[in-house]
Amino acid sequence: MGGVIPGVDGYMYPNEMELQWGVLIVLYPFITGLVAGAFILASLERVFDVEAVKPTYRLALLTALAFLLVAPLPLQLHLGHPERSFEMYLTPHLTSAMAMFGFVYLWYLMVVLLLEIWLDFRKDIVLRASSTPGWRGLPYRLLTLGSRNISAGALALDDKVGRFVTLVGIPSAFLLHGYVGFIFGSVKANPWWSTPLMPIVFLFSAIVSGIALVLVLYMAVCVVRGVSIDMRCADTVARYLLYAFIIDFSLEMLDLLHRVYEADESFKSLDFMVHTRLYASHILVQIVAGTLLPLALLALVRVVSLSESARRGFYAAAGVLTLMGILAMRWNVVIGGQLFSKSFLGYTTYKMGFATREGLLAAVLLLLLPLGILWGLVKLLPPWTEETTESPAPAV
């Protein structure tokens, strides 16, 4: 239909002109990526005893939970029949990567995240259950599951089990986000998506985004609370961010190099797309501003001696730019994969609505919602020790 349909250039198969997956499907890997990344950072302390990042431990867990609770929402808004989504639990098609979603999500939510948070916060929950009067204490009393045992023996057991849960949680986090990469990477019909590197690239960019999120949130929360930022912690988190980013960037460069070198039948079409329709989001936002710049900032901190306030500024900037860059990467994968025709003869445009079910407004609200939930979680289970009340001996 070359050139006659607005937004379409060249030839596209008639059914291809309208994009199937929009901004909400961009959000989903972004959100699960943040969950996986935040959890991996938290596990650094628990399993690998990186004691320096301890101040972020509980915050990272609650952040992961807040985002995980929101993760299914963009999918539900996208489905033609969200009321049928439970079918994925009833008759999961085992050859479909997407069918894993329900089970991996539930597993991760229940057996990893909720269990770990409960085990770590149990002492505070029990203390608050007795010290908070009336209906405000009800959530705590429910969360105790009827047991008020916070003896040394019980807490030691909690710690051991918690360690084990974290250990199991790391591959579970890999699975939670890795399978999303496989959903794209296994589609042989789409050469922009189809590569064995996809789950790995997704996973590492998830780790990068999760660490960046916790870094930014930790500093922001300290500022809001009026307490000083533990620089040893921030420096360590930033260091891990740099390492993860170097790996992530190398993987993406490998993919690019491979494509350019092999130049298969799809290359010319994809290359043209990246230089025209995807130029702003791919080259400018994802690569330059979202990867090279934060990498430079983080690397600079390691080679040049900077003051604490300068480092804080660098970390904040790098963190925000990183988050933007990883979101752009999801956009470029999901949207980019649908802008070119499978005939390799044409291109279309993504028409994003604003106040529609799958529009920009919904996307923005879905990104803000986890922050709201996090605020609620922090009020319910404060991650900081000076806010837990010391109470008289609770009944065992």
Partner 1 sequence: MAGTDTPPPAAGPRTFRDAEHLFRVAALFLAVVVLFFVAQRLFVPKGFGTLGHYRPGALADNRDRPSAFGGRAACEQCHADAVEAKRKGKHAGPACEACHGPLAAHAADPSIKPGRPDARTLCLKCHAALVGRPAKFPQVKPAEHVPEGASCLDCHVAHDPAMGGSK
Partner 2 sequence: MTATDRREFLSHTGKFLLLTGTAAAALEHVLAGSAEAAPGYAETAHWWGMIIDVEKCIGCGNCVRACKEENDVPREPYYFRTWVERYHVESGDLAHPQVDSPNGGYDGFPERYAALAAAGKTFFVPKLCNHCVDSPCEQVCPVGATFRSPDGVVMVDRKYCLGCRYCVQACPYGCRFIDPRTHVVDKCDLCYHRITKGLTTACCEACPTGARTLVDLKDPKDPVHEFLRTRTIQVLKPQMATNPKVFYAGLDGSVR
CB of 126 to partner 1, least distance (A): 9
By CB under 8 A, residue 98 contacts partner 1: no
CB of 99 to partner 1, least distance (A): 10
Q: Of the two residues 145 and 254, which places its CB atom closer to partner 1 in the complex?
A: 145
111 binds, among partner 2, partner 1, none (CB under 5 to 8 A by kind): partner 1
Q: Of the two residues 91 and 385, which places its CB atom closer to partner 1 in the complex?
A: 91
Stretch that binds partner 1, among 152-160, 202-210, 230-238, 298-306 (CB under 8 A): 152-160
Choice from 150, 321, 335, 381 touching partner 1 (CB under 8 A): 150
CB of 122 to partner 1, least distance (A): 7
Measured on CA atoms in the order 290, 291, 296, 302, is the torsion positive or negative? positive
Choice from 111, 231, 293, 306 touching partner 1 (CB under 8 A): 111
Q: Of the two residues 13 and 375, which places its CB atom closer to partner 2 in the complex?
A: 13
243 binds, among partner 2, partner 1, none (CB under 5 to 8 A by kind): none
Residue 47 CB coordination number (10 Å): 15
Q: Which residues contact 279 (CB under 8 A, 6 or more apart)?
A: none
Q: Which residues contact 126 (CB under 8 A, 6 or more apart)?
A: 140, 144, 147, 148, 149, 150, 394
Residue 374 CB coordination number (10 Å): 21
By CB under 8 A, residue 350 contacts partner 1: no
CB of 267 to partner 2, least distance (A): 12
What Rg do the C-alpha atoms of the chain give, in angstroms? Answer: 23
Q: Of the two residues 291 and 341, which places its CB atom closer to partner 2 in the complex?
A: 341
Give residues in contact with partner 2 (CB under 8 A).
1-2, 4-5, 11-18, 20-21, 78-82, 84-85, 87-88, 90-93, 95-99, 101, 183, 186-190, 338, 341-345
By CB under 8 A, residue 90 contacts partner 1: yes
By CB under 8 A, residue 164 contacts partner 1: no
Residue 145, Ramachandran bin (φ over 0: left; ψ between -120 and 50: alpha; else beta): left
Q: Of the two residues 8 and 238, which places its CB atom closer to partner 2 in the complex?
A: 8
Buried b (16+ CB within 10 A) or exposed e, 286-308: bbeebbebbbebbeebeeeeeee
Give CA–CA dist 294/317, Å, rounded: 7
Q: Estimate to the nearest angstrom the gap between the alpha carbon of 12 and the chain centroid.
A: 33
Q: Of the two residues 264 and 387, which places its CB atom closer to partner 2 in the complex?
A: 264
Choice from 20, 147, 250, 389 touching partner 1 (CB under 8 A): 147
| Helix %, strand %, coil % of the chain (to 5) | 75, 0, 25
CB of 235 to partner 1, least distance (A): 36
Measured on CA atoms in the order 28, 34, 37, 39, is the torsion positive or negative? negative
CB of 94 to partner 1, least distance (A): 8
CB of 125 to partner 1, least distance (A): 10
Written as six digits, the tokens of 229 are 């930022």
Q: Of the two residues 24 and 321, which places its CB atom closer to partner 2 in the complex?
A: 24
Buried b (16+ CB within 10 A) or exposed e, 193-228: bebeebbbbbbbbbbbbbbbbbbbbbbebbeeeeee
Give CA–CA dist 53/240, Å, rounded: 10
Give CA–CA dist 90/87, Å, rounded: 5
Choice from 118, 249, 344, 350 touching partner 1 (CB under 8 A): 118
Q: Of the two residues 88 and 369, which places its CB atom closer to partner 2 in the complex?
A: 88
Half-sphere exposure of 314 (CA within 13 A, CB side): 26
Binding footprint of partner 1 on the chain (CB under 8 A): 86, 89-91, 93-94, 110-111, 115, 118, 122, 144-147, 149-154, 156-157, 161, 393-396
